[in-house]
Chains A and B, each alone.
Chain A
Amino acid sequence: MVFVSRRDLKQNMPVSLTNSKLIFDALKECDIHLVSALPETWLVHLVRLTDEDPEMILVRLAKEEEGVGISAGAHFAGVKSAMLMQNHGFLASINGIVSFAHLYKIPLLMLISYRGSLGERDPWQTQGGNVTEPLLRALGIPHLFLDAVETVKKRIRQAQTLAESSLQPVALLLTRDLMWEE
């Protein structure tokens, strides 16, 4: 019998390292120096790349809503930040988004892995997939998909620009087409 360590299992998952690197480089080009994150499968490379970069402050969270406060603190300090979360983490952050980011006009760049959408195999992700876009619309949060290699850099730049100019949360939905290689 061959035992596979948990670490190896993670590395064998078909999460796109190339596209994670593309996203990470685009964040760096936007002068982002702090990233808060609660890991999930699609985000493993992004979290690791952030952790390994000495120019980045990585804040590993216990729950995603904390990231709203962390990003607000960073904004007050003049540091540009981004939040890495699953769409269920977005659901868990909504009070912070409304009663801090919206109430106080705090720019947030939210990179949300869009689990539970077409192609999803994990039954437990599917309900969150159904409500992600309706909730973004209900909250009036501008959002775009990150779904093609060619537009990743531009859309991250555009989202970051709008968040900073409008002083509000802006979301980018990381899609299966971009993050998953199978």
Chain B
Amino acid sequence: MLRLDCLRSVYAELENCLVVTIMGAVAAELHSLGHRPNFFYLQHAMGLASSTGLGLALCLPEQQVIVFDGDGSLLMNLGGLSTMARYRPKNLVHVVFDNESLLSVGGFPTATSTGTDLEGIARAAGVPRVATVRSVESFKVAVNEAAHGSELTTIIAKVEATGPAGYVTDLSLLENRFQFRRHIRSLQKR
């Protein structure tokens, strides 16, 4: 299963969500499908995309928030999983693309390649709904169900360790950040 195909399968649904991604391939691939002002790509600070999504979801309970996380990033902030589970905002969907690899630095294997079970960790942390998916169709169904459901959900999507040729996009970090903030402000004025 390719991450890009997963992202493509839910791209239309993302229009009405606030989307936070991690750095590297996830950011570059979502951007390649067409940037939108409701997408924020956290191009560093590994581990904090999920915390950012949690902050957004707690402050904007009427907005659906989706975080596209990765195995390497989540492993850097496993404690954050327990914080997410503690407050379990029902408007937060936490997707983890697990390619068992730190792809953008050369493909070094992460601990999920040797048996660490992120679904099990999320469940044991207290996340009320968890799932592992291995096909694009089941990914699409799981994300849509979670986005229309009423419980915090962590979805582990097992994907291949392949990505784009480069990771730098033509969207500057600050441009992205101010556009994202402005987009949320425009939603609040409606």
Residues of A within 8 A of B (CB): 33-34, 57, 59-63, 65-79, 81, 95-96, 99-100, 103-106
Contacts and interface: CB of A to CB of B under 8 A. Distances in A.
The interface residues of chain B, by DSSP majority, are classed as helix
A62 B59 contact: no
Given A69-B54, A70-B51, A76 B79 contact: no
Instruction: Give chain B's interface residue range (CB within 8 Å of chain A).
Output: 35 or more
Contact of A62 (B60, B82, B177): B82
B44 interface: yes
A60 B83 CA distance: 7
Contact of B173 (A72, A78, A104): A104
A103 B172 CA distance: 11
Contact of B54 (A70, A100, A106): A70
A79 B184 CA distance: 11
9 pairs of A and B residues whose beta carbons are closest in the complex: A73-B55, A69-B51, A62-B79, A69-B48, A77-B59, A100-B45, A99-B44, A73-B56, A70-B55
Nearest to A63: B79
B59 A68 contact: no
A59 B51 CA distance: 11
Nearest to A68: B48
Nearest to B42: A100
Interface in B74-132: 77, 79-80, 82-83, 86-87
A69 B180 CA distance: 15
A72 B42 CA distance: 11
B190 interface: no
> Which of B52, B87, B177 has the most A CB atoms < 10 Å from its CB?
B52
Interface string B40-72: 101111011111111111111000000000000
B51 A68 contact: yes
Contact of B53 (A68, A73, A95, A104): A73
Contacts of A100: 42, 44-45, 48
Contact of A59 (B47, B77, B83): B83
Contacts of A69: 45, 47-52, 54-55, 80
A105 B172 CA distance: 13
> Which of B51, B54, B184 has the most A CB atoms < 10 Å from its CB?
B51
A66 B177 contact: no
Given A60-B86, A62-B79, A62-B83, A73 B184 contact: no
A77 B79 contact: no
Given A96-B45, A103-B44, A59 B59 contact: no
Nearest to B65: A73
Given A59-B55, A60-B86, A63-B80, 18 more contacts: A34-B55, A34-B58, A59-B54, A61-B79, A61-B83, A63-B77, A65-B47, A66-B80, A69-B45, A73-B20, A73-B55, A74-B58, A77-B59, A77-B60, A100-B42, A103-B45, A103-B173, A105-B177
